[in-house]
Structure 1
């Protein structure tokens, strides 16, 4: 005899698992949904703390800062300040990556150069790049070159150390395969070492970007005071001098938003199409 109870229960179970059916667990599995929930929770907490503080100069509310952000983008030059900062940042970042790649490629071929690179990086990597700004302004004057100098120093050492660690972690089997195919020099680095060390390289790019971004904002705070111009750092400093705390938060929000977009679009996208697709990362 057919078990009608089991048959009648099957459509219900199938319908509950039908693709596209809303469920809280599926929503929580989405990275974008989790991040939005965190941002909403922070915004609510911020607004409650501001209302409890009841002092807009000390801590404006989230809604006040949001209105100031919209006004700053449309009429107060926040967009142009952000573009100015990004233009300088991309120049320094690109220069640092090129120099670091050349140094690491040379160090792979020579134990002496590898030890030299590790020694210099151990000396300069812990040094805050912003501490070099006085020397940079003395050597290069009040211009973009001063900012580029500190940016290059902020990026080159963490990326070089990450890349070198990734190259050294390449399995010996893959190294032997490359040598058996006659790969030497740059071809050996590009076709054997780089694909295997790609997770470390992307991690180094991400760390270098974060170091460069915060170093640039800090440098612009000082550089803007000296030259009367600048990007987001000068925008924030100017708003602070005028006691427009909501505008200060608008400038900080621009820094955070740019960082989130770069992380989600550039680095996360690069991981998705490479190392995650290849099964090298979960």
Structure 2
């Protein structure tokens, strides 16, 4: 078996567990570390098949993660209920949420073609595709609802950047001091953003060749307001590409048939809440983007974009 790098090595008992879920005559012939995740070790496993060909699986391992059992159970449940819905999610192969057989809690799933794209180039084509995909996720009506969403950020946990417009941030913090507005529940990805969406043919000439091939990382799947997913992708786009793209995504979601909250004040609540939540994790998020190739996104640069985005939300009409 070949490893592309040391980080790709799979621990012995986990290898045995994976092998126990392969077809008769199959074996693991290669492993490769997949980079870009924050909380999980991700590996692509190349499986040699009985006919001499290969197929790929993906192994998610959570090492020293407090909520590993909950997250893996939620992801396994989400992948199961998404089967047959048309949403391009991986297929569940096996899960060991308590590390009963593996060294650490692990989930094994099918591999989807495509790659994440975080570049500025081609964004005007990808944003409507992202919006349409999110609207399709929100249209799923599961027979059994996942658990209700959780939003941990409070007015007291927000970390106002040093570069921030103090008045705008104070006003934004006041927004989330209020109770959450009522909402019509939807099936949520809860971490929908460009880093969890796979694109194929992104280098083909013209926009017609660009398509989404997969949506991954369903560990936070929840039931809650569609605006929460819209807000999360909007904030990511604002920090990756500039505040205007965060505002544009919300418009694209409506154009794609998505159904946001009825009033501007309700929509503002969720968008401000998600923007402020990033103030607590901006260093970690910016580091993951630099590791993925966006080396210019230093923490200070991302903080400045976050400030500009929160300010734009508070200045928006309505």
Task: Name the TM-score class by shorter chain.
Answer: under 0.3
TM-score, normalised to structure 1, is 0.26
Name the larger-Rg structure. Answer: 1
Per residue, is there more helix in 1 or in 2? Answer: 1
Per residue, is there more strand in 1 or in 2? Answer: 2
Q: Return the structure number with greater relative CO, CA threshold 8 A, min gap 6.
A: 1
TM-score, normalised to structure 2, is 0.24
